[in-house]
């Protein structure tokens, strides 16, 4: 099952609104086929794994990180493919929270006489698809709040060493998210343009808040393709700017409206990055906490005592409880992650 999750992650950032799924077929203790779901609209993990195994799948065991589907969506049901292949057993990481699947896949396999085990490495499988699960259960995108802090406790407008480079924590984080929200001053000051350096990364949609901007928003030279993945939310017309970049004029765009827009585009995960001018974030931070729109927090603590302190975070009256805290060192910084509860 751990291998299924590893294989599934090859499609990290590419499957929304679908989940990442990996499948491994085993016979006589040997792996004889494996596959993953590469992209919505393309075949599911089980189909690729069964193709890879061919006739050898008969009497084998199929391990799948998510319950096989039992419906006709963009692709036919995986349960039927598994039954046809004559595997004798299916081991499932977790039940699919999609209401049109929700254990119907397990039942279909059992009715066909296949032994089914459910809940192997379940936590790992759930973590793999935390955004998909949240989106299925609530109908809203999964939102992660990220910011950098100095050891002196100040909000910093900078990332740690190598964070943006391939393998750096920020580059890997960007690869995981379908969209990133940040302040226009982050771009104007060339603090960061959110592009993942991971090989073959699907780049997130960049949503730029520009309340604090009073001149043309500086966007680095982008290819037409990259420009089509930038949206600027402005209160006033700000000159011509980069061709191909979408501008949404709104005197007050709420976080709920931004998330609704993401959802309509099939985007399931959003990184709200407190990079740039804090003024741009004040309203949507308050709204996010008030309406329970934040699920996760990622904080980078840099090895700097104070740095160019921008502003101390003012989270007064905002939800304070965070669970499942983990921490690691990356590029000389401490990365702390947790989930709001």
Q: Which residues are catalytic?
A: 46
Q: Should residue 21 be labelled a site residue for ligand AOF when binding is judged by CB under 6 A?
A: yes
Shortest separation between residue 102's beta carbon and Zn ion, angstroms: 14
* DSSP state letter for 105: H
Among 32, 53, 61, 78, binds ligand AOF (CB under 6 A): 78
Structure-token pair, residue 62: 């199929």
Q: Which of 5, 26, 45, 91 binds ligand AOF (CB under 6 A)?
A: 45
Is residue 179 a contact residue for Zn ion (CB under 5 A)? no
- What does 265-315 look like in DSSP terms, one character per residue? TT--EEEEE--S-GGGTHHHHHHHHHTT---EEEEEEES-SS-S--B----
Which of the choices ligand AOF, Zn ion, none does residue 21 contact, using the CB cut-off of 5 to 8 A by kind? ligand AOF
Which one of ligand AOF, Zn ion, none is in contact with 244 (Cβ closer than 5 to 8 A by kind)? Answer: none
Question: Contact between 118 and ligand AOF (CB under 6 A)?
Answer: no
The Cα 11–Cα 22 span in angstroms is 10
Q: Which does 140 bind (CB under 5 to 8 A by kind): ligand AOF, Zn ion, none?
A: none
Residue count of the chain, please give it.
341
Give SS3 for 135.
helix
Instruction: Give how many residues touch ligand AOF by CB under 6 A.
Output: 18
Task: Name the DSSP class of 175.
Answer: H
Is residue 91 near ligand AOF by the rule CB under 6 A? Answer: no
Residue 104 interacts with which of ligand AOF, Zn ion, none, CB < 5 to 8 Å by class = none
314, 289 Cβ separation under 8 angstroms? no
Question: Which residues are within 8 A (CB) of 136 and not within 5 positions of it... i.e. 6 or more apart?
Answer: 97, 98, 99
State how beta strands 30-36 and 22-27 pair: antiparallel
From 39-47, 232-240, 264-272, 282-290, give the range in contact with ligand AOF by CB under 6 A: 39-47
Is 98 a residue that touches ligand AOF (CB under 6 A)?
yes
Instruction: Give the Cα separation of 95 and 101 in Å (integer).
Output: 8
CB of 102 to ligand AOF, least distance (A): 9
- Least distance to ligand AOF, CB of residue 113, Å: 19
Task: Scan for tokens 């794994």, then name that residue.
Answer: 49
Closest to 147 (Cα-Cα) out of 328, 311, 297, 340: 297
The owner of tokens 């949507």 is: 284
Does 69 interact with ligand AOF (rule: CB under 6 A)? yes
Does 46 help bind ligand AOF (rule: CB under 6 A)?
yes
Q: Report how far residue 316's alpha carbon sits from residue 319's, in angstroms, rounded to the nearest whole number.
A: 9
**Minimum separation from the CB atom of position 89 to ligand AOF (A):** 16
Contact 96, 69 (CB under 8 A): yes
| Residues 264, 99: Cα–Cα separation, whole Å | 19
Query: Which range in 39-47, 172-180, 287-295, 308-316 contacts Zn ion by CB under 5 A?
Result: 39-47
Nearest to 23 by CA among 2, 40, 45: 45
Residues 297/337, Cβ–Cβ less than 8 Å: yes
In this complex, which beta carbon is closest to ligand AOF, that of residue 80 or of residue 161? 80
Is 178 among the residues that bind ligand AOF (CB under 6 A)?
no
Residue choice 69, 106, 213, 230 for contact with Zn ion (CB under 5 A): 69
Residue 276 engages ligand AOF in binding (rule: CB under 6 A): no
Q: Which residue ranges make up the site for ligand AOF (CB under 6 A)?
A: 18-19, 21, 37, 40, 44-46, 66, 68-69, 73-75, 78, 96, 98, 101
Give contact residues for Zn ion (rule: CB under 5 A). Answer: 44, 69, 78
């Amino acid at each position: 099952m751990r291998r299924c999750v590893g294989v599934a992650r090859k499609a990290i950032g590419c499957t929304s609104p679908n989940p990442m799924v990996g499948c491994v077929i085993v016979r006589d203790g040997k792996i004889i086929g494996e596959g993953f779901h590469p992209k919505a609209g393309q075949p599911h993990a089980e189909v690729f794994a069964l193709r890879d195994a061919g006739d050898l799948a008969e009497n084998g065991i199929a391990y799948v990180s998510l319950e096989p589907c039992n419906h006709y969506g963009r692709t036919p049901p995986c349960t039927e493919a598994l039954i046809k292949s004559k595997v004798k057993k299916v081991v499932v990481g977790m039940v699919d929270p999609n209401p049109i699947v929700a254990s119907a896949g397990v039942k279909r396999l059992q009715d066909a006489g296949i032994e089914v085990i459910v809940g192997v490495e379940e936590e790992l499988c759930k973590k793999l698809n935390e955004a998909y699960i949240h989106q299925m259960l609530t109908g809203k995108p999964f939102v992660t709040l990220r910011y950098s802090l100095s050891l002196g406790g100040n909000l910093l407008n900078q990332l740690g060493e190598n964070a943006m480079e391939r393998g750096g924590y920020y580059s890997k984080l960007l690869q995981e998210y379908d969209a990133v929200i940040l302040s226009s001053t982050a771009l104007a000051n060339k603090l960061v343009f959110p592009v993942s350096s991971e090989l073959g990364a699907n780049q997130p949609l960049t949503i730029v808040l520009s309340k604090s901007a009073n001149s043309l928003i500086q966007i680095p030279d982008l290819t037409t393709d990259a420009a089509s993945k930038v949206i600027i939310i402005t209160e006033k017309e700000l000159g011509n700017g980069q061709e191909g970049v979408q501008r949404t004029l709104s005197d007050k765009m709420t976080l709920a409206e931004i998330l609704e827009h993401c959802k309509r585009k099939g985007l399931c995960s959003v990184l709200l990055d407190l990079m740039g001018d804090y003024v741009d974030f004040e309203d949507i931070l308050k709204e996010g906490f008030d309406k329970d729109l934040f699920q996760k927090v990622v904080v980078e603590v840099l090895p700097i005592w104070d740095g160019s302190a921008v502003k101390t975070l003012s989270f007064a009256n905002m939800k304070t409880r965070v669970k499942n805290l983990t921490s690691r060192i990356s590029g000389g910084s401490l990365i702390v992650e947790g989930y709001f509860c």
